[in-house]
Amino acid sequence: MRNTNLLSVLFLLACVACSPARKGQDGDLAGSTPKDRLIENLRAAPSKGILFGHHDDTVYGIGWEFEEGRSDVRDVCGDYPAVISFDLGEIELGGDQNLDKVPFGKIRQEIINQYNRGGLVSLSWHARNPKTGGDAWDVSDSTVVRSILPGGELHPKFQGWLGKVCDFIRSLRTTEGTPIPVVFRPWHEHTGSWFWWGQDLCSAEEYKALWRMTADYLGTHGAADQVIYAYSTGTEPRDQASYLERYPGHDLIDVLGFDAYQRDDRDLYLRSLETCLSVIDSIAKENKKIIAISETGYEGIPDSSWWTGTLLPAIARHPVAYVLVWRNARERVEHFFGPYPGQVSANDFKVFYQDPKTLFASDINLYK
């Protein structure tokens, strides 16, 4: 082979190696990773419907815990949620269960099960207060974020905490060893001041630096190909500027979300959803981001037609990829946000499930 030919072959090989993922014949992105495919599928989701999610769905529900295959949502409609979220709170302490007494081994297994169903997993982290030793809601000290940033006295300790999170994420693998991608949603609801990373507890620069430090750690310790980041405010932002005031950057974030709960005032809830969704919708359109209602619900669901009468019409007006309701606590009567058999909104949830606009686990495979 002549040198010029050799050079052409090398050049062609280099082009193939460096080119972005290509469409395969079956529409799959040839050479893409599960994380790439997940992002693409979440971007495309709103053209098919809205993925329904439930926190801690398969680990406990009303009157049960840790029963193989069980889910309150499935007990009502026959299908698993398309999205299940779990919380890593207290993983930083090195124990074997999280703040809601769910063993991390159980969470890991349920993440693998959800991946095998083609569904999405989101992880939040109600990290304890690294300075006071209190919980995530301990807002007694407003120097906590500063103290864990590079140069701060608790920086080395907090790097250890990030290490625990990173180890857990890296342990999420199928039996064949495929790394499972997850949405990671740390430092949420920071536009309020009820967590130690909240609005009045740190400056915008400190908050952004906390995000950068978190992502840098995971990125440089082997979790980069498994993590998609979600930025998730409360309902406080009223416009693009306030939503983005503490935004860590488009290079880091793929999912734009917010948490909003209905309390007694239905109209207030509907107005909050509409305000937040229209703000996020405009940012997402300009920057190709995925829109999520990362936490919502009506505690105790006293409204028997809440699913089709309030939630669905409110979210269907915007290209929302997923909406997730919070947990069905087995240890706190009335602290539930998903349906269960016999609950007053269970029949309405079945209608919500049947609506072509909602997507559940059997409707999707986010990794193909």
- Residues binding ligand BMA (CB under 6 A): 87, 89, 99-100, 126, 326-327
Q: Considering the complex, what minimum distance in angstroms separates the CB of residue 326 from ligand BMA?
A: 6
Q: Considering the complex, what minimum distance in angstroms separates the CB of residue 259 from ligand BMA?
A: 9
Q: Considering the complex, what minimum distance in angstroms separates the CB of residue 195 from ligand BMA?
A: 11
Measured CA distances, 223 to 126, 148, 183 (Å): 20, 21, 12
Angle at 43 between CA 37 and CA 45, to 5 degrees: 95
Measured CA distances, 36 to 20, 30, 138, 181 (Å): 11, 11, 37, 9
Q: How far apart are CA 53 and CA 67, in angstroms?
A: 19
Our CB check for ligand BMA shows the closer of 60 and 360 to be: 60
Q: How far apart are CA 326 and CA 336, in angstroms?
A: 7
Q: Considering the complex, what minimum distance in angstroms separates the CB of residue 285 from ligand BMA?
A: 30
Our CB check for ligand BMA shows the closer of 126 and 350 to be: 126
Q: Considering the complex, what minimum distance in angstroms separates the CB of residue 137 from ligand BMA?
A: 9
Q: Considering the complex, what minimum distance in angstroms separates the CB of residue 126 from ligand BMA?
A: 5
Our CB check for ligand BMA shows the closer of 76 and 88 to be: 88
Our CB check for ligand BMA shows the closer of 201 and 329 to be: 329
Strands, E assignment, the chain = 22-23, 29-30, 50-55, 60-61, 64-65, 83-87, 120-124, 182-185, 227-233, 253-262, 290-298, 322-325, 358-359
What residue is closest to ligand BMA based on CB? Answer: 87
Angle at 25 between CA 24 and CA 30, to 5 degrees: 15
Our CB check for ligand BMA shows the closer of 39 and 102 to be: 102
Measured CA distances, 155 to 144, 176, 213, 305, 323 (Å): 10, 36, 10, 49, 35
Our CB check for ligand BMA shows the closer of 187 and 367 to be: 187
